[in-house]
Structure 1
Amino acid sequence: MRVSLQREIASMNFSFSTSRRAGRSPLLALAAASAFWAGGAASQPLAPAPEAATGRIAKAVGTAQRYMAAAANPLAASAGRDILRAGGSATDAAIAIQLVLNLVEPQSSGIGGGAFFVHWDEAGRTLVTLDGRERAPQAAKPDRFIGPEGKPMKFIDAVVGGRSVGVPGTVKLLEEAHKRWGRLPWATVMAPAIKLAEDGFTISPRLNGLLSGETNLAKDPRAAAYFYEPDGKAKAVGTVLKNPAFAATLRAVAERGSDAFYSGPIAEDIVSTVTGHKTNPGDMTLADLQAYKVEEREAVCGSYRVWRICGMGPPSSGAIAVQQMLGVLETQNMARLGPSAESAHWFSEAGRLAFADRALFLADPAFVSVPVSGLIDRDYIRSRAGLVSPDKSMGRAKPGDPPNKRAQLFAPSDGIENGTSHISVIDADGNAVAMTTTIEDGFGSRQMTRGGFLLNNELTDFNFAPEEEGKPVANRVEGGKRPRSSMAPTLVFDAFGRLYAVVGSPGGSQIIGFVGKTLVALLDWKMDPQAAVDFANFGSRNGPTELEKGTEAEAWKTALEAKGHEVRLLEMTSGIQAIVKTPEGFVGGADGRREGVAIGD
């Protein structure tokens, strides 16, 4: 099966042309490739597409009767399905998927990064969320990303090297999840990735396209030897990549658990890689790695019409922002409005309000008192909805005054986020996992360890400037702190408390809009999961109104501008994975902007 899937990937027809065939739906048109963003961070503008676009694929909706796994690459989804076939749990499958993604989608996630894990136990009717977000080294100071001239560093200058690397959390997270909900042996769920690392896999068109557009990864000798030819060109589509070093790393973790990663030779190599960068070293220590802990967080849940939407709490801003947006949209008949400029107006205004609150209030709850209950209070959200005019955009929203807020003198900060991948799984017993996982920017800090994996640049999710207008920023760098995230792994329950959908996406701070759009498409517009994830992306992060280039959303530009929106057309490279539970089984969708599939039996 893996061989046929690799052939399928190699034969996928990605186009780098902006031309379209006459009569073809804009939704299915292949988008043009875009360059990696390397803009300045002086004012920390909101980033465009976190990973370059490499084309789009028309996909059929996936169906299954017993279980389903959806992931951003067919080999990863297949590994998850194999685990489910063997009687594994949703957690077992998610672990196998994550480790295979480390190989086949190395630009987005891996054991050198962090993740959030949302789990539903069908028999126990319990929802648990685990925080495996990276932490800043204890030596980190608020001025970490301030350059010698006293100004914030340019984003890419901060990213490349050890300065941006946070203490990885993914391995500890996977181990903790497996202890709680795993069914198959730990070594068994790691076996698919070990085998793939040893036997090799073929480079896909998307990975080749991203490697070809990347300018900093080849400066790392280990990464250059692995991903590039001696002449500096990215290894071609179809080239077989083997990673025995990663296989050895996973074998050590399979035998000795996470201790093999957070202490001993693997940990020493991580520290050496981070602190040994020639131009931009970091300050991580073995003590930082050994002190890392996974945190169980209280799930953030709220209602939307007859549905209950649940997700990850701080340090993620995802669930709070999504629920704030949905609360504003609940005041409108989105089903009647349908996909239209009018819907985009309300959706964008809701995004402005949510991002204004996010910028001021959201950060690591161990360092900042986050008024979660106040931010998702229905009366508060309705009062915010009253600020939206049906006829004119507010332009830029100001943060609100939620109940249960403690007196804190913080300044708002937008920050920059990138990268990531998402995994959705439902097993034969009805247990579900929504896991969003990341190494932040495309290819992280552009550092590969001797253990065969890339390290994150998660610390650039902190605000570069520790103060704004003389006030401290909640999401400033501090030792041991977890940076704010927008990741939004989401579970949807119906009016009877039954699991209905598992949804999530990569995309940096755009994740919030990507997930919100998908929920509206599923719940209000009654699209099937594939149509919902493939539908045009749009929204606002409290800046311009963003419409996805090359899609039907472009047609809304004039009407939105008539309402005062500043509209930008841009690549919006989501990677949404959605599974919906039906009386017949499961229906799934994997974003056509990436290579993924939703498969099961």
Structure 2
Amino acid sequence: MRRILSPSLLALAACVQLAVAPVAAQAESIPLAMPKPRPAAHSPIAKGMVAAANPLAVQAGLRVLREGGSAVDAAVAIQAVLGLVEPQSSGLGGGAFMVFYDAKTGKVTAYDGRETAPAAAGPDMFLGPDGKPLPFITGLMSGRSTGVPGAVAMLAQAQKEHGKLAWKSLFKDAETLAADGFVVSPRLAGMINSARAPQASAPDAVKYFTKPDGQRYQAGDVLKNPAYAETVRRLAAEGPSALYEGPIAQAIVDRVHQGDLPGGMTLADLKAYKPRSADALCRPWKVYAVCVPNPQSSGVALLQALAMLEHTDIAKRGPTDPVAWTLLAQAERVMYADRDRYVGDPSFVTVPVQGLLDPKYVAERAKLITTTAGDPPPFGHPAGAPKVGVDATKEPGGTTHFVVVDTKGNVVSMTTTVESIFGNGRMVNGFFLNNQMTDFSFSPTEKDGAPAANAVAGGKRPRSSMSPVIMLDKKTGKFVAALGSPGGNAILSYNLKAVVGVFDWGLNMQQAVSLPNLVARGDAYSGDADLFGPAMLSALNARGVGVKTGQIEGSGLQGVIVRKGGVLEGGADPRREGVAKGL
């Protein structure tokens, strides 16, 4: 969830001046009131690295790499463990996007494991009897919110194409932790006991997270999940069909059909699910090529924002300059204005990717990036854009991200989710179901009848802000960096900040992911107020960037970059509990 910040981060008090790239002579410099980031992790490239949001998942990934596994092999093991120890964020019942760099061929492939709407879904799926959109929480907690899960099928396809070890060997860590128990982390305990997450009070979650003495699990308690152990045993033995056919599939269908607003998913929907794969969407930027997934991922918006910022002097500034943050915020507002209007499932709507990234269009949109914020920018009219209505999508942030670099130099950057905290709170066979259908626009049309690009339709995949990144050297095609974040709609802002931090402001990966977050969308601003500090907040507010005292932005950035001499440098977001660790 984007607005939960690690207490350990807030408890650190030292105000520091970050090492930054040279700032323009006329720029104002205001030290950020944030703790000194922990040192970046380093590892020789030949030995690989994993950066993920939970140390147990990192250990599982490293174990696979030590046994000669590929980056994709490690990704399977990491996801299996994350679904157990970080169930508020991702799991076997969710979806994911992966970008994969093949060190031998230099090719970057985008894998799409986004959930699909059941065939029975229609544009009125989240409308009440009065024809108005249902309250968001009502839709979220219903059986209608669950889409056909895609993460397992996607990982199976990628592993078949790029794996080195036997599929059945990749679930050992998850099975052992589920059967023997794992220690509940402070973050998971906070979610279990959260009064702000209705899913934590859903019957399935209450049953799972309540100890025999009637008390909820707390940090430090050992939690066992024998049902999850049995599920991953079946996945190991039978492959992905264990989830999409047979008793587990039946359990999913039965569970989504329960309640006042039952879903329409069938066994046929599950059996018919197919992941997508294609060349990643890559564009030149500076001396690099930046690669992201294709729509219905919103990676195209990140590429647009980076291209627009090339028309500013943000690279001559740094994180102690309020003008730099204002430029970043203004670029985000333009980015979101276009993304919200046009991005959807390309199998159902025309997404004007080429028009959005056309240099002339980018240059024109960049004129809206000013050093003082004003009214929200309008959406643009890129070449090839269809007539679509205003979007009414809400997108909470129960998601996670990880990066793997294996010993051969292959790379996975993967963002994976059950959408909101614990998905919709419903469980089957030890794992939570997603609420991904609420990533569609509840309102399917504009007042004039123009359809929203992200309206519900049977078989359609909802738009996603997930945009895992891989960057290459434009000249040589060699891997340079990979990063990504959870955070719902804010993912694009978080990723943009990290890329700017490393490649424009000269920070190491750990410093960049630790920077304050600033999210600007329409007329709404939010940021890590305590990390910016009073002086920076005052300077930003004076420029119209209305970040208020008390606001927080809980990203979960993970990143790895290749430094001089082939050394891998990793960074893990201190707002979560992860680490970046090399072999």
TM-score normalised to structure 2 length:
0.91
Query: What pairs up with 1:296-315 in 2 under 5 angstroms?
Result: 296-315=277-296
| Unmatched segments (≥5 aa) in structure 2 | 19-33
User: Does 2:453 correspond to 1:474?
Assistant: yes
User: Does 2:438 correspond to 1:456?
Assistant: no
Q: Do 2:209 and 2:216's aligned partners in 1 also have CA atoms closer than 8 Å? A: yes
Of the three residues 287, 297, 300, the one matched with 1:320 is 300
Query: What pairs up with 1:404-419 in 2 under 5 angstroms?
Result: 404-405=384-385, 407-419=386-398
SS in 2 for 1:271: helix
Of the three residues 102, 114, 136, the one matched with 2:95 is 114
Give, in angstroms, the shift of residue 553 of structure 1.
5.7
Counterpart of 1:50 in structure 2 is: none
Counterpart of 2:484 in structure 1 is: 504
User: Counterpart amino acid of 2:175?
Assistant: I
Counterpart of 2:154 in structure 1 is: 173
Give, in angstroms, the shift of residue 576 of structure 1.
0.3
SS in 2 for 1:327: helix
Of the three residues 420, 431, 446, the one matched with 2:410 is 431
Of the three residues 229, 253, 260, the one matched with 1:247 is 229
Instruction: Assess, with a 3 A threshold, how the Cα gap between structure 1 residues 558 and 129 changes in structure 2: closer, same or farther.
Output: same
User: Does 2:257 correspond to 1:275?
Assistant: yes
Instruction: Assess, with a 3 A threshold, how the Cα gap between structure 1 residues 193 and 230 changes in structure 2: closer, same or farther.
Output: closer
Counterpart of 2:116 in structure 1 is: 135
Q: Do 1:576 and 1:590's aligned partners in 2 also have CA atoms closer than 8 Å? A: yes
Q: Do 1:417 and 1:485's aligned partners in 2 also have CA atoms closer than 8 Å? A: no
SS in 2 for 1:467: coil
Mapped to 2, the partners of 1:208 and 1:359 lie a distance apart of 34
Mapped to 2, the partners of 1:314 and 1:571 lie a distance apart of 29
Deviations 1:279-310 (A, max 9, x none): 33211111110110001134211222222111
Instruction: Assess, with a 3 A threshold, how the Cα gap between structure 1 residues 18 and 192 changes in structure 2: closer, same or farther.
Output: closer
Deviations 1:1-59 (A, max 9, x none): xxxxxxxxxxxx964897765x45599xxxxxxxxxxxxxxxxxxxxxxxxxxx99963
User: Counterpart amino acid of 2:492?
Assistant: I
User: Does 2:244 correspond to 1:262?
Assistant: yes
Mapped to 2, the partners of 1:19 and 1:254 lie a distance apart of 42
SS in 2 for 1:550: helix
Give, in angstroms, the shift of residue 412 of structure 1.
4.1
Q: Do 2:175 and 2:229's aligned partners in 1 also have CA atoms closer than 8 Å? A: yes
Counterpart of 2:467 in structure 1 is: 488
Mapped to 2, the partners of 1:495 and 1:481 lie a distance apart of 34
Of the three residues 533, 538, 545, the one matched with 2:525 is 545
Counterpart of 2:567 in structure 1 is: 585
SS in 2 for 1:586: strand
Instruction: Assess, with a 3 A threshold, how the Cα gap between structure 1 residues 365 and 578 changes in structure 2: closer, same or farther.
Output: same
SS in 2 for 1:213: coil
Counterpart of 2:219 in structure 1 is: 237
Mapped to 2, the partners of 1:270 and 1:76 lie a distance apart of 25
Q: Do 1:164 and 1:456's aligned partners in 2 also have CA atoms closer than 8 Å? A: yes
Deviations 1:158-211 (A, max 9, x none): 111311001100110111011010001001112221111112101011111111
Give, in angstroms, the shift of residue 114 of structure 1.
0.2
Mapped to 1, the partners of 2:341 and 2:451 lie a distance apart of 10
Aligned length: 556
TM-score normalised to structure 1 length:
0.88
Mapped to 2, the partners of 1:508 and 1:84 lie a distance apart of 30
Instruction: Assess, with a 3 A threshold, how the Cα gap between structure 1 residues 359 and 413 changes in structure 2: closer, same or farther.
Output: farther
User: Does 2:76 correspond to 1:95?
Assistant: yes
Instruction: Assess, with a 3 A threshold, how the Cα gap between structure 1 residues 399 and 218 changes in structure 2: closer, same or farther.
Output: closer
User: Does 2:328 correspond to 1:347?
Assistant: yes
Counterpart of 1:370 in structure 2 is: 351
| Unmatched segments (≥5 aa) in structure 1 | 1-12, 28-54
Mapped to 2, the partners of 1:377 and 1:427 lie a distance apart of 35
Mapped to 1, the partners of 2:431 and 2:269 lie a distance apart of 19
Q: Do 1:590 and 1:596's aligned partners in 2 also have CA atoms closer than 8 Å? A: yes
What value does the CA root-mean-square deviation take over the aligned residues?
2.2
Counterpart of 1:422 in structure 2 is: 401
User: Counterpart amino acid of 1:404?
Assistant: G
Instruction: Assess, with a 3 A threshold, how the Cα gap between structure 1 residues 161 and 272 changes in structure 2: closer, same or farther.
Output: same
Of the three residues 554, 564, 568, the one matched with 2:544 is 564
Mapped to 2, the partners of 1:330 and 1:380 lie a distance apart of 13
Mapped to 1, the partners of 2:327 and 2:533 lie a distance apart of 14
Of the three residues 95, 119, 140, the one matched with 1:159 is 140
User: Counterpart amino acid of 2:510?
Assistant: Q
User: Does 2:422 correspond to 1:443?
Assistant: yes
Of the three residues 357, 364, 377, the one matched with 1:397 is 377
Counterpart of 1:380 in structure 2 is: 361
Deviations 1:523-578 (A, max 9, x none): 01111111110111113122323221211265333333333334345221000000
Instruction: Assess, with a 3 A threshold, how the Cα gap between structure 1 residues 14 and 500 changes in structure 2: closer, same or farther.
Output: closer
Q: Do 2:393 and 2:442's aligned partners in 1 also have CA atoms closer than 8 Å? A: no
Give, in angstroms, the shift of residue 219 of structure 1.
4.5
Counterpart of 1:191 in structure 2 is: 172
User: Does 2:51 correspond to 1:80?
Assistant: no
Query: What pairs up with 1:50-61 in 2 under 5 angstroms?
Result: 59-61=38-40
Mapped to 1, the partners of 2:306 and 2:511 lie a distance apart of 20
| Percent of aligned positions that are identical | 43
Q: Do 1:271 and 1:284's aligned partners in 2 also have CA atoms closer than 8 Å? A: yes
Stretches (4+) displaced over 6 A: 16-20
Q: Do 2:444 and 2:452's aligned partners in 1 also have CA atoms closer than 8 Å? A: yes
Give, in angstroms, the shift of residue 351 of structure 1.
0.8
Counterpart of 1:360 in structure 2 is: 341
Mapped to 2, the partners of 1:440 and 1:57 lie a distance apart of 31
Mapped to 1, the partners of 2:370 and 2:17 lie a distance apart of 30
Instruction: Assess, with a 3 A threshold, how the Cα gap between structure 1 residues 360 and 328 changes in structure 2: closer, same or farther.
Output: same
Instruction: Assess, with a 3 A threshold, how the Cα gap between structure 1 residues 14 and 393 changes in structure 2: closer, same or farther.
Output: closer
Give, in angstroms, the shift of residue 441 of structure 1.
0.4
Of the three residues 524, 529, 533, the one matched with 2:504 is 524
Instruction: Assess, with a 3 A threshold, how the Cα gap between structure 1 residues 162 and 473 changes in structure 2: closer, same or farther.
Output: same
Q: Do 1:351 and 1:541's aligned partners in 2 also have CA atoms closer than 8 Å? A: yes
SS in 2 for 1:403: coil
Comparing 177-186 and 486-495, the one that deviates more: 486-495
Mapped to 1, the partners of 2:304 and 2:171 lie a distance apart of 38
Q: Do 1:548 and 1:554's aligned partners in 2 also have CA atoms closer than 8 Å? A: no
User: Counterpart amino acid of 1:539?
Assistant: V
Q: Do 2:394 and 2:441's aligned partners in 1 also have CA atoms closer than 8 Å? A: yes
Instruction: Assess, with a 3 A threshold, how the Cα gap between structure 1 residues 380 and 266 changes in structure 2: closer, same or farther.
Output: same
Deviations 1:138-161 (A, max 9, x none): 111111112233322222111113
Instruction: Assess, with a 3 A threshold, how the Cα gap between structure 1 residues 573 and 287 changes in structure 2: closer, same or farther.
Output: same
Q: Do 2:204 and 2:425's aligned partners in 1 also have CA atoms closer than 8 Å? A: no
Deviations 1:358-405 (A, max 9, x none): 111100000001111111112211111122333x32421111111233
Q: Do 2:16 and 2:36's aligned partners in 1 also have CA atoms closer than 8 Å? A: no
SS in 2 for 1:501: strand
Mapped to 1, the partners of 2:411 and 2:168 lie a distance apart of 21
Mapped to 2, the partners of 1:430 and 1:20 lie a distance apart of 36
SS in 2 for 1:579: strand
Counterpart of 1:67 in structure 2 is: 48
User: Does 2:581 correspond to 1:599?
Assistant: yes
